[in-house]
Chain A
Amino acid sequence: MTYNRLREAQSSAVQIIENSYKNQRLSHAYIFEGDAGTMKRDAAIFFASLCLCNAERKPCGECQICRRINHSAHPNVYHIKPSKKNILKEDIRLLHEEFSKTALETGPKITIIEHADRMNAYASNALLKFLEEPHPNTYALLLVEDASLLLPTIQSRAQTIHFHRLPGAIIEQHLTTTGVDPTLAKLAAQTTAHIDAAENFVNHPDLYTLIESVNQIYEAFLDQASLVLLFDKISSDLLNDELIVELYLDILIHYQKDIIYGKMDHYTKIIFEEHQDIITRVGAQKTTSMLLEELEMMMAIKVNQKHYINTRLAFDNLMLALERRNHSEE
């Protein structure tokens, strides 16, 4: 593994890490904050390899040490990620136990906590205690999409490094030059933060079906059919898979945004151009404030979906809200 792509995409983050390492001013805890696909995990592997690799130009990415870090097989690098939905206190307790012992191999110990925002309250407090009394020669890397979801006391004990998303225009351009449908390219550029992630996104096998089923929801609205009943038909395929739900929500959110843009005459920003007709007609039947309220509901489901919520119920509520129309205009 070479780190060229990482250096290209996140040059400032890499610079910060490298400089602190060179000057021996590494902080004992870091928050890597950035949207999904901003290569936070790669940067964490880079960090660990930098600390442990023995090559002259480190991290070399090729020696046995670097390769083992890459395979999550190095005993000095301890990985934590949500086992189901959340990171639990038990996970942090095991970390504490692990770090209270001397390292199996020479060099510092590094823990990489992915989705650190998914720690429950007990785990957060346990981690806080862990950060309050840092073990010597250890580093904690917390990877989050939004650092403000961490306890303020955790934030204040760690140095935050921001990972920037690649400008949407670049992703969109890259995708269209490789022959991706312009609508999908636009959608991918809005939802993902990096070229790799965007490519995965447009290659998702269910993408077309999901777009079509979102479209059906709005069509059904125009036909005055019951959205709750319609959603009931598709929900069994949809709700079983967390990733599909997320994708569905992303599409729904952008469709809703299109309607708002349409209403405000920002036609160039519309993603689903081929559904322009539906977009305008739906917009005509609702007030902007209603549309914004619905959008907020969608966003809320997206955030809460990562916690234990009744997704089905949340969607039913959303569908009920979407059924409303502006009676004064009728």
Chain B
Amino acid sequence: MRFEINKDKLLYQLIVAQRALSHKTPNPALQGIKLDVLESHIVLTTSNSDISIQIILEDTSLSVESVGSVLIPGKYFIEIIRKLDGQTVTFSQLEDNLLRIEADHSDITLNLLEFDDYPNLVFKPKEDFIQINVRTLKTMIRQTAFATSNIENRPILTGVNFKIEGNQLTGIATDSYRLSQKTIALENDYEAMNVIIPGKSLEELLKILENNQAMVEVHFDQSRVLFKYNNVFFLSRLLEGNYPETSKLIPKEFPVRVKFNKEQLLTAIERASLLSSRDGNNAIVKLTMRQDDVVEISSNSPEIGRVLEIVYPVDEVVGSPIKIAFSSKYFIDALKVFNSSEVTVNFTGEIRPFIIQGEYDEDMLQLILPMKTD
């Protein structure tokens, strides 16, 4: 194997591939970057077993003298390429499983890893795939993945449930105290699908997707999901099992509806959560609607002090006054993913879940379970 390529072009792709590189893994092969050199292009593959990334690199600066495949220790390789001088770098495989890297004044030989130990990763696209605009997909992930559970007692809740029904794609995440759900319309009807993608995989995917108008291909399978974005293939394992049926949790009728300015409500809750004996994130905040339709946000911890915030609803309040307590973190998390400047909070009762919706956040809802207080 011998080829040369522009250093910066390679480095740019390596940084993307690095996202799936394992640092601590029982299998040393996964600490490597698999490099396949073909006649017209090179293929970079990394995997930490949860996610795997494959990048097809075609470039005018690429000139392949002979083809071959090697497994390169990832950490060293990327650092070497990063630090190299000069524009062009030449790679060649030597005997005894060595890689020679030549660039400008540098001549480096690197011990390779055992190629045969690399897992057999299949990045094969399916014929039937869906296409989503990058921005839409990113928004959908951002609006759901945060609500996944990070406690592994019920591993299934650490993932986002993706469902396709007809031309609708729905993402649902819950940690059993809150739930977020977003539905988007697809261009065509697709075969029904119901999978659970680990939240951590989706967060990594977000970092790879840029902010542009490109399309992402999503290839769902029963045991994996493959995202194809330009020349990058992103493969994630799925969580096994049945996702709880959440549709029954979402109330249909809301006797009490209040519309707020999002920023005002957010800052009021943030201030109210400051004085809490529980650690900042779990502060309990109370929302009380007065007879004159003014809303009080308050918190009280006897040993620290109390906060009372007044928030004026932006629209006429529907329903009778209500008093409810909730975790400030859940409410703040939920408000932050809205694009709308005004949000409606829909209540069904003091100890029943309430949902938040926004005018400009179509088909998205955030549900929170209230907390009991004395």
> Does B155 contact A72, Cβ atoms closer than 8 Å?
no
**Quick one: given A101-B237, A102-B238, are A74 and B119 in contact (CB under 8 Å)?**
yes
Which residues in B have their C-beta under 8 angstroms from that of A79? 26
Which residues in B have their C-beta under 8 angstroms from that of A72? 26-27
**Quick one: given A96-B152, A96-B155, are A101 and B116 in contact (CB under 8 Å)?**
no
Q: How far is the CA of A136 from the CA of B26 in the complex (A)?
A: 24
B156 interfacial by beta-carbon distance below 8 Å: yes
Pick from A67, A73, A101, A105: contact of B27, CB below 8 A: A73
Cβ contacts B29-68/A at 8 Å (1 or 0 each) = 1000000000000000001011010000000000000000
> Does A105 contact B156, Cβ atoms closer than 8 Å?
no
Which residues in A have their C-beta under 8 angstroms from that of B9? none
Which residues in B have their C-beta under 8 angstroms from that of A105? 119-121
> Does A101 contact B119, Cβ atoms closer than 8 Å?
no
> Does A103 contact B26, Cβ atoms closer than 8 Å?
no
Pick from B49, B224, B241: contact of A100, CB below 8 A: B241
Residue of B nearest to A129 (CB): B153
A22 interfacial by beta-carbon distance below 8 Å: no
B223 interfacial by beta-carbon distance below 8 Å: yes
Within 8 A of B (CB), among A143-176: none
B117 interfacial by beta-carbon distance below 8 Å: yes
A93 interfacial by beta-carbon distance below 8 Å: yes
B114 interfacial by beta-carbon distance below 8 Å: yes
> Does B119 contact A136, Cβ atoms closer than 8 Å?
no
Cβ contacts B109-124/A at 8 Å (1 or 0 each) = 0000010111111000
Residue of A nearest to B235 (CB): A104
Q: How far is the CA of A102 from the CA of B236 in the complex (A)?
A: 9
Which residues in B have their C-beta under 8 angstroms from that of A136? 240
> Closest approach, in angstroms, between the C-beta of B221 and any C-beta of chain A?
9
> Does A102 contact B26, Cβ atoms closer than 8 Å?
no
Interface of B is mostly: loop
> Closest approach, in angstroms, between the C-beta of A289 and any C-beta of chain B?
50
B: number of interface residues (CB 8 Å): 27
> Does B155 contact A75, Cβ atoms closer than 8 Å?
no
A73, A74, A100 pick with most chain B CB within 10 angstroms? A100
> Closest approach, in angstroms, between the C-beta of A68 and any C-beta of chain B?
6
B353 interfacial by beta-carbon distance below 8 Å: no
B198 interfacial by beta-carbon distance below 8 Å: yes
Residue of A nearest to B156 (CB): A100
> Does A103 contact B223, Cβ atoms closer than 8 Å?
yes
Q: How far is the CA of A96 from the CA of B151 in the complex (A)?
A: 12
> Does A102 contact B223, Cβ atoms closer than 8 Å?
yes
> Closest approach, in angstroms, between the C-beta of A142 and any C-beta of chain B?
18
Which residues in A have their C-beta under 8 angstroms from that of B224? 102
A68, A104, A105 pick with most chain B CB within 10 angstroms? A104
Pick from A67, A68, A101: contact of B239, CB below 8 A: A101
A64 interfacial by beta-carbon distance below 8 Å: yes
Pick from A68, A75, A97: contact of B116, CB below 8 A: A68
Pick from A64, A74, A97: contact of B155, CB below 8 A: A97
Q: How far is the CA of A163 from the CA of B231 in the complex (A)?
A: 52
A71 interfacial by beta-carbon distance below 8 Å: yes
A5 interfacial by beta-carbon distance below 8 Å: no
A204 interfacial by beta-carbon distance below 8 Å: no
> Does B116 contact A67, Cβ atoms closer than 8 Å?
yes
Which residues in A have their C-beta under 8 angstroms from that of B240? 100-102, 135-136
Q: How far is the CA of A102 from the CA of B198 in the complex (A)?
A: 11
Pick from A64, A67, A101: contact of B238, CB below 8 A: A101
> Does A71 contact B117, Cβ atoms closer than 8 Å?
yes
Q: How far is the CA of A73 from the CA of B32 in the complex (A)?
A: 13
Which residues in A have their C-beta under 8 angstroms from that of B223? 102-103
Q: How far is the CA of A156 from the CA of B138 in the complex (A)?
A: 48
Which residues in B have their C-beta under 8 angstroms from that of A64? 116, 120
Which residues in B have their C-beta under 8 angstroms from that of A102? 222-224, 237-240
Q: How far is the CA of A93 from the CA of B28 in the complex (A)?
A: 21
Within 8 A of B (CB), among A66-96: 67-68, 71-75, 79, 93, 96
Q: How far is the CA of A96 from the CA of B239 in the complex (A)?
A: 11
> Closest approach, in angstroms, between the C-beta of B258 and any C-beta of chain A?
40
Which residues in A have their C-beta under 8 angstroms from that of B155? 96-97, 100-101
Pick from A71, A75, A101: contact of B198, CB below 8 A: A101
> Closest approach, in angstroms, between the C-beta of B260 and any C-beta of chain A?
39
Q: How far is the CA of A104 from the CA of B29 in the complex (A)?
A: 14
> Closest approach, in angstroms, between the C-beta of A82 and any C-beta of chain B?
14
Could you tell me which B residues sit within 8 Å of A by CB distance? 26-29, 47, 49-50, 52, 114, 116-121, 152, 155-156, 198, 222-224, 237-241
Could you tell me which A residues sit within 8 Å of B by CB distance? 64-65, 67-68, 71-75, 79, 93, 96-97, 100-105, 135-136
23 A-B pairs whose Cβ atoms sit less than 8 Å apart in the complex: A68-B119, A71-B114, A73-B27, A73-B28, A73-B29, A73-B118, A73-B119, A75-B49, A79-B26, A100-B155, A100-B156, A100-B240, A100-B241, A101-B50, A101-B237, A102-B222, A102-B223, A102-B240, A104-B52, A104-B237, A105-B119, A105-B121, A135-B240
Q: Beyond A75-B49, A104-B119: 15 further Cβ-contacts under 8 Å?
A: A72-B26, A73-B114, A73-B119, A75-B27, A93-B152, A100-B241, A101-B50, A101-B239, A102-B222, A102-B237, A102-B240, A103-B223, A104-B49, A104-B121, A135-B240
